[in-house]
Amino acid sequence: MRVVVTGIGWVTSLGRGRDQVWQALLAGQSGLTPVRSFDAARYPSKLGGEIDTFATDHGADRPGRASQMACAAARDAVADAGLDLASLEPRRVGAGMGTTSGEPREVEQFNDLLVAGKTSEIGAEFLRRYPCHTIVTTLMGELGLRGPNAMIPTACSAGNYAVAFAFDQLRAGRADAMLAGGADAFSRITYTGFARLGAIAPEVCQPFDRHRKGMVPGEAAAVLVLEPLRRALERGASIYAEVAGYGLSCDAHHMTAAHPAGDGGARAMAAALAASELDSDQVSYISAHGTGTPTNDKLETLAVKRVFGERSRRVPISSIKSMLGHTMGAASAIEAAVCALAIRDGVVPPTINYRDPDPECDLDVVPNEARSLSVDVAMNNAYAFGGNNASVVFRRVRA
């Protein structure tokens, strides 16, 4: 069975709504600003990718912020797909969602009370909001879905894992439509950790640049609607792209450092191509993991070279993390949407803030300007703590 992308919804630091964000990415705009949600005075870097246009509902029965963002993205995706959920059997529609940290703000609140000696004020809402699976259960509940569902917290490769899960549910015939995506809310816990590792760029996020100094933590949610091709055609849906296949691997090397030869990343890409029955020669564009840390970008380059060989310098590869920062579990879901839009529109977004080429990252990184390009096949790379690698391949659906 062939599976296609028919809807896109996202909530990002560059706005909300399919076209608003896509146009901003193509224009090379940055959503990164000084951190506002907590006092970052004591941190060496102060840059973050927060969303100021998405107000958290602070009501008593509210879910956590990541869950709220995921629901908003899911509603937008369903609307974009023109999918009438009421006309579908609820048990035949499900969701797979990814995250890195779930709802860490709920632990922060727990700790604020505990450290202040107000343990008695910690209430039942902590366990109702904190567990990361509430992202998918909130989404399923709000949209009235009853089908296959999974919360997959495989850190920064989670969005791709979620797309792969949804793809498998459709291929197994368990669902008529699936939502797939990822969500992570900005949190002081995540920011503090990356700051301690010295991984946050002080002023600018510049993936693949010779003077790149790090990543920038961000927040976002993104959701895609996936359907069997046949059903999408029958209902006259507009189709962005087909999910051709995926590849999953683990470095089994180190919790935070990628394999020094790019082994796991290369195996994920190769497995995704094999599952898609495509050769590396057929790939038109790669959406990079491209965090902007010195190590990631160097090792991703190595991994691309292992898979693409001679052709590696001629395949355009760009990192939208230069604009949105690293949105953790949402990142590869956003980038999956970017692959789908690139295929539909024949244009790929740039890697911004690129000034000086790095001989260790000698790829075509689509510097600073979006590029018109007929994209038949796009590969989406995602890597994560735990040595987790996931690549998903998208391709154009020919009429």
Burial class (CB in 10 A: 0-12, 13-18, 19+), 62: middle
> Residue 383, interface with other proteins (CB under 8 A)?
no
Six-digit token string for 268: 């994920």
> Residue 211, interface with other proteins (CB under 8 A)?
no
Half-sphere exposure of 59 (CA within 13 A, CB side): 5
Half-sphere exposure of 83 (CA within 13 A, CB side): 30
> Residue 178, interface with other proteins (CB under 8 A)?
no
Q: DSSP string spanning 373-394?
A: ---SEEEEEEEETTTEEEEEEE
Interface residue with other proteins, options 1, 52, 89, 196 (CB under 8 A): 196
Q: Which of residues 138-177 bind other proteins (CB under 8 A)?
A: 140-141, 144-155, 161, 165, 168, 171-172, 174
Residue 270 CB, nearest approach to other proteins (Å): 13
Residue 72 CB, nearest approach to other proteins (Å): 18
Q: Reduced to 3 states, what is the DSSP secondary structure of residue 228?
A: strand
Q: Which of residues 32-61 bind other proteins (CB under 8 A)?
A: 42-44
Q: Which single residue is written with the structure tokens 């691997």?
A: 249
Q: Which of residues 291-320 bind other proteins (CB under 8 A)?
A: none
Q: Which of residues 71-130 bind other proteins (CB under 8 A)?
A: 91, 94, 99-102, 104, 107-108, 110-112, 114-115, 119, 122-124, 126-128, 130
Interface residue with other proteins, options 256, 356, 360, 362 (CB under 8 A): 256
Residue 289 is among the residues annotated as catalytic for this protein: yes
- Cβ distance to other proteins smaller for residue 190 or 287: 190
At what angle are helices 331-345 and 18-26 packed, to 10 degrees? 80
Rounded to whole angstroms, the Cα distance separating 82 from 62 reads 27
**Pure H helices in 62-187:** 65-81, 104-115, 125-129, 134-143, 158-171
Interface residue with other proteins, options 69, 226, 243, 271 (CB under 8 A): 271
Contact 233, 371 (CB under 8 A): no
- Cβ distance to other proteins smaller for residue 101 or 318: 101
Residue type, 117: G
Give the angle subtended at the CA of 298 by the CAs of 294 and 300, to the nearest 5°. 120
Contact 107, 189 (CB under 8 A): yes
Phi, psi at 12, each rounded to 5°: -140, 175
Q: Which among 53-61, 202-210, 232-240, 255-263 is the span making contact with other proteins, rule CB under 8 A?
A: 255-263
Residue 326 is among the residues annotated as catalytic for this protein: yes
- Cβ distance to other proteins smaller for residue 105 or 321: 105
Residue 44 CB, nearest approach to other proteins (Å): 8
Size of the site for other proteins (CB under 8 A): 80
Q: Which among 73-81, 136-144, 331-339, 368-376 is the span making contact with other proteins, rule CB under 8 A?
A: 136-144
Q: Which among 10-18, 46-54, 133-141, 334-342 is the span making contact with other proteins, rule CB under 8 A?
A: 133-141
Rounded to whole angstroms, the Cα distance separating 320 from 287 reads 8
Residue 243 CB, nearest approach to other proteins (Å): 14
- Cβ distance to other proteins smaller for residue 14 or 162: 162
Catalytic residue among 156, 205, 339, 361: 156
Beta-carbon contacts of 293 under 8 Å, excluding residues fewer than 6 positions away, are 199, 212, 214, 215
> Residue 367, interface with other proteins (CB under 8 A)?
no
Residue 17 CB, nearest approach to other proteins (Å): 27
Interface residue with other proteins, options 23, 33, 56, 137 (CB under 8 A): 137
DSSP state of 55: P
Residue 59 CB, nearest approach to other proteins (Å): 17
> Residue 335, interface with other proteins (CB under 8 A)?
no
- Cβ distance to other proteins smaller for residue 22 or 165: 165
Q: DSSP string spanning 13-47?
A: TTEESHHHHHHHHHTT----EE--SS--TTSS--E
Q: Annotated active-site positions, please?
A: 156, 289, 326
